[in-house]
Amino acid sequence: MDSIISFYVRLSEGRIARASARLTRGDGQTMTEYALILSAVAVVVYVGYKTMGTKLTSALTTVDNQL
């Protein structure tokens, strides 16, 4: 029974060490930067879509009226 408990403790310590290592790595900053860039691109695409959609509707209305 003691060997099982000591194995569990070693396993838990390993998990804690791996989790701690994951939290202290710099990868989180990189992912945050990518998320910020992606959201900025999404805003630009949305604004462009809305602008082009309005102009396209206006152009199609003009063509329809001339027909």
Residue 31: per-residue pLDDT: 82
Residue 15: per-residue pLDDT: 65
Domain count, the chain: 1
Residue 46: per-residue pLDDT: 92
pLDDT in tens, 1-57: 677 777 666 666 766 666 666 666 665 667 888 889 999 999 999 998 888 888 888
In three state form, how does the secondary structure of 22-60 look? Answer: HHHCCHHHHHHHHHHHHHHHHHHHHHHHHHHHHHHHHHH
Residue 8: per-residue pLDDT: 66
Domain limits at 47?
2-66
Residue 56 exposure: Cα atoms within 13 Å on the Cβ side: 6
Residue 56: per-residue pLDDT: 83
Q: Give kind and range of the element (H or E) at residue 4.
A: helix 2-24
Whole-angstrom Cα distance, residue 40 to residue 62? 33
Whole-angstrom Cα distance, residue 4 to residue 23? 29
